[in-house]
Amino acid sequence: MEAIALELNNLTPKVDCVSKESIEDEGKLNSLTLSTTKKYSGGWKSASLLLVNQGLATLAFFGVGVNLVLFLTRVLQYDNAEAANNVSKWTGTVYLFSLVGAFLSDSYWGRYLTCIIFQIIFLVGLVLLSLSSWLFLIKPNGCGDATTKCMPTSDLGVGIFYISIYLIALGYGGYQPTIATFGADQFNEADPMQRHSKAVFFCYFYFALNVGSLFSNTILVFFEDRGQWIIGFWASAVSAALGIVLFCVGTYGYRYLKPCGNPLTRVAQVFVATFKKWNVTVPDDTSKLFEVEGSESAIKGSRKILHSEEIRFLDKAATVTEKDFHGPRNHNPWRLCTVTQVQEVKCIMKMLPIWLCTIIYSVVFTQMASLFVEQGDVMNCQFGKFRLPAASMSAFDIISVLLFTFIYRQLLIPVTGKLTGNPKGLTELQRMGIGLVIGMLAMVAAGITEIERRKYAIPGHETSTLSVFWQIPQYTLVGASEVFMYVGQLDFFNTQAPDGLKSFGSSLCMASISLGNYASSMLVNMVMSITTKGNRPGWIPINLNSGHMESFYFLISGLAAIDFVIYLFCAKWYKCISLENEEGDKVEDNLDDILRRV
């Protein structure tokens, strides 16, 4: 049997995904390693350009998204629950499209082309939204502020509006995980210094995202709140166009990795081979499992992944039998898979429980774009003689993100690094767990604010005299939780994803936000269906003063607490990916199980 495995190893072709032409001036290097003594494309110069591109695209996206719930209530005249649900569905669709972008990027188009195509779709959606608002929706001019109502809209105008915002969803969603992975591609993991720079890049990536959204949440939201929606939308379109130009400027300096083939086929092969060999016994000596020789795996562009003991039944696909030796010269991948191919599937399956536990956090996060804005809109928004737009309160979330990013990198990493011995300070799993707890506290703070707001409700009106600045704690806590949860997610899913699924790894973070928005919409519908029985107004009625929105916030907080307990078990079970470098040595990511000592 060992002789059969050895012969199959020698017969298996090895295909290199990353050609020498795809990485400039690297000399004679293997497909995934860059020489530290050679000059090459990529690095911080290219990554910095991508960070600016990310900031401009985010400015454009949030120029639409941050005030969308008010656009629906003021211009299209939806009620509060319907508007919140529409925003949740739209935001969910944005990040669901991230899976489309990741698949095309990893499989066929490559990161660069995928970024270009989806940014163009994004720009077309923004231009169409600006035109449809100007020609059909904003009638009379300046309507949709706090006082002037808009005229009833035509079906044509509403139809074009929805086409435009879902083009925006497709464009931004497909672009977002790809640009994150493309930025990480500018650094070589084989170089320890650049490996560290890659981890730092994700912090700066989320930093750039929040800098871009800060402008939207302060300047653009001010114009939109005053009924000047068209100015805000055109500013977003200009920002997106400028981002595309800057992205193209760096074309000749980027480090490119070619697409590595359709991963769906590889995953299907593992399950089919496992099913065909269901009665085969996996050898106790895992070195007898099938694998090609040399440092490169049979999967294009992927380093070898070392065998892991989890999900052992999939090892049947890599177990060599006499039947595997009959037939054509090359082995049949639908019957015999390499250890690396099996481990690729195992990596995905091991990440899924962690990913599922992040969805409830995304339910917390999505409230900022919907119920937080509706809550703030019926509070006292006066700041002297100036009226603050309710959506501008999300600026405190962004300031919190920027502040806690600095605190984490400059204070927490050195302190926790000394305590844990981990140069990263806290592991990605630990950061995500902390983010989940802080997010739960943010919902408690929002519920307390709503209780106080209703105490100061004006009889016979829909507003309250309580200052909108009471929302600062809930926005600040959400911002702090993002630094731990979303930056940790980006780093975790990108690092733990196999080489051929890097964009897919980044898209898991976005898909979590997507399902969180859909879950939020479903939760609102369920709550309203139950709480409106018997002619009661429900928890989230049109007049929030007659509802109990604080109960909805506390419900989410309770769900987050249950989710955190489940997360602890999943994180303790998780084992990180182990790779081989070109010499065949083990390379294991520095990722401890969360709270292992507890």
pLDDT at 1: 42
CA distance 580 to 504: 21
pLDDT in tens, 82-104: 887 788 788 878 878 888 888 88
Q: Phi and psi for 144 in degrees, rounded to 5?
A: 90, 10
Share of the chain above pLDDT 90, in %: 24
**What's the whole-model pTM score?**
0.73
Q: At what angle do helices 192-215 and 155-185 cross, to 10 degrees?
A: 160
Q: What H or E segment, with its residue span, contains residue 579?
A: strand 578-580
pLDDT at 237: 94
Q: How far is CA 128 from the centre of its chain?
A: 26
Strands 382-383 and 386-387: antiparallel
CA distance 576 to 308: 9
CB atoms within 10 A of CB 142: 15
Report long-range pairs for 373-376 (Cβ below 8 Å, ≥24 apart). Answer: 373/66, 373/67, 373/69, 373/70, 374/69, 374/73, 374/80, 374/83, 374/84, 374/544, 375/446, 375/449, 375/450, 375/453, 375/471, 375/544, 375/549, 376/468, 376/471
pLDDT at 594: 34
pLDDT at 187: 83
- From first to last of its 598 residues, what are the pLDDT tens digits of the chain? 444 343 333 333 333 333 333 333 333 333 333 333 334 577 888 888 999 999 999 999 988 887 787 888 888 888 877 887 788 788 878 878 888 888 888 778 888 999 999 999 999 999 999 998 888 888 888 787 767 888 877 888 889 999 999 999 999 988 988 888 888 888 877 677 777 777 778 778 877 887 888 788 778 877 877 778 888 899 999 999 999 999 999 888 888 877 767 788 888 999 999 999 999 888 888 888 888 876 677 777 677 888 888 888 999 988 988 777 655 556 788 888 888 889 889 988 998 999 999 999 989 988 887 788 888 888 988 887 778 878 788 889 888 988 888 888 788 878 877 777 766 778 889 889 999 999 999 999 999 999 999 888 888 788 888 999 999 999 999 999 988 998 888 788 878 888 777 777 777 877 888 788 788 888 988 998 899 887 888 898 888 888 888 999 999 999 999 999 999 999 988 888 777 654 444 444 433 333 333 3
pLDDT at 568: 93
Q: Domains in the chain, start-ordered, CATH in brackets?
A: 44-258+347-581 (1.20.1250.20), 264-343 (no CATH)
pLDDT at 494: 78
